[in-house]
Amino acid sequence: MQYCPKCKINIRGTKKCCPLCQGRLEGEGEAPIFPVLKKRKVSNVSFFKICVFAWILLMITMFWIDYVTGNQFAWPGVVRVAGCFALADLGVGMYYHSNILKVVTIEIYFGMLVGYYIDKKTGFYGWSLSWMIPAFFLALVLITMIMGSILKLYIVDYVIYLAVDVLASLLQIIPIYREQNPFPYAAAASIAILLGFASYIVLFRFRDLKNASSKYMNI
């Protein structure tokens, strides 16, 4: 232990000088009381800034290629969209890194949007509406339930996700109504299953739903 002869105090840990009088210390220092955390070389914020910078460069390059080639190719547009999704994805992942369920949920919604976009850009055959989005909604509810039990969440903590998923799945009615969905049965089935699930929650888990909504409304 270190000792300051002027102030007559013992000092724990290792100090260069006395914290009171800044004078010289006697004796040997000891291991620090608090664990020393390794400082990360690049903080999350600067990592994200680097990514934003790379994204800006990518955007400029792609617009430049479009300009030079007179919009001859489709791929710079695809790269731009992919770049935007990648950056948004990274941002979400870093912002909600402590809430894995939120990250997974947002990723799945991203996936649906990307699928819909690709479908629309490649002739709009409707496969995203017919198969991909209905399957993603079912997977979303299943994954939410599985993660809820794996992470040992209370249903109060994730029932709001399920409610949002059910409401979002109702949006599938719009393309069916506008006759944009060439095979609407899977979408209809996924809406029906999610509504059935929602009625189960409302009937048998009403207290959890009420607690969750009051919890979220109060914030």
Residue nearest Zn ion (C-beta atom):
18
Cα torsion angle, 73, 75, 79, 82, sign = positive
Q: Which of 10, 12, 15, 21 lies at the binding interface for Zn ion (CB under 5 A)?
A: 21
For residues 21 and 189, which CB has a smaller minimum distance to Zn ion in the complex? 21
Q: How far is the CB of 156 from Zn ion (least distance, A)?
A: 55
Q: How far is the CB of 51 from Zn ion (least distance, A)?
A: 48
Query: Is 132 a binder of Zn ion (CB under 5 A)?
Result: no
Residues 6+ apart with CB under 8 A from 149: none
How many residues in total does the chain contain?
A: 219
For residues 5 and 182, which CB has a smaller minimum distance to Zn ion in the complex? 5
Q: Which residues make beta-bridge pairs with 11?
A: 2
Burial 171-193 (b: 16+ CB within 10 A, else e): ebeebeeeeebeebebbeebbeb
Q: How far is the CB of 6 from Zn ion (least distance, A)?
A: 4
Q: Which stretch binds Zn ion (CB under 5 A): 4-12, 72-80, 95-103, 120-128?
A: 4-12
Cα torsion angle, 30, 36, 42, 46, sign = negative
Question: What residue ranges bind Zn ion (CB under 5 A)?
Answer: 4, 6-7, 18, 20-21, 23
